[in-house]
Amino acid sequence: ALLLQAEGSSFCAGGDMNWMKQMANYSYEENLADSRKIAAMLHKLNTLPVPTIARVQGAAYGGGVGLVACCDMAVASSNAKFCLSEVKVGMIPATISPYVIAAIGQRAARRYFTTAEVISAPKALELGLISEFRTSDAEADQVIAGLVKALLKNGPRAVGEAKRLALELSNRPIDAELIEESSRRIALTRDSSEGKEGLSAFLEKRKPNWIQ
């Protein structure tokens, strides 16, 4: 698993000021090249073949919301606050938008993309941006430790394939093609060395070999 976290009082307070000053003088071509780098990073995080957990404290603004949305799970302390603040400076949350919309839905995105309201941790939970929140950082860390413990009990290859399943088979019509695809994937899993080991361990009432 990958744990994405930050030091200090904020998870990600938005764009670096020096970078923003430099960006103000960029040409369209320079802005496009820079944006493509950010978009590539977000896509890499979103599709990383291991489970990802964001640990959020304090401010998660602008691109910080995108980082949270790209993670499979997000645990926040109650002092966490979120804001899609780009419109305040005449910008839009473009590169992060596919991931934020996937996390909170189109209707909520239409509101928070345009109002730049600050979103509390309880509201972020309600929207689906975070998985859980706790009153303190220490309690949030306990939740994360529990998630990691649960993940490490599972077949590492299966965990990666299960993540791919959710990413690649969502929002598709349940037709013959999708049914065949899902059947193919479970057959490959059953035929894998990890799948055979997991089933053998279950039937023999022992731990599988990936649990040390």
Q: Which two tokens mark 72?
A: 């499979």
Over the stretch 126-184, which tens digit does the pLDDT of each residue have? 999 999 999 988 999 999 999 999 999 999 999 999 999 999 999 899 999 999 999 99
Element (H, E) at 152: helix 137-152
Question: Would you say 77 and 17 are in contact if contact means Cβ atoms under 8 Å apart?
Answer: no
CA dihedral of residues 165, 147, 70, 159 (deg, nearest 10): -20
Query: Could you tell me the domains of the chain?
Result: 2-150 (3.90.226.10), 154-203 (no CATH)
Q: At 186, is the secondary structure helix, strand, or coil? A: helix
CA–CA distance, 114 with 143 (Å, rounded to integer): 33
pTM metric for this prediction: 0.91
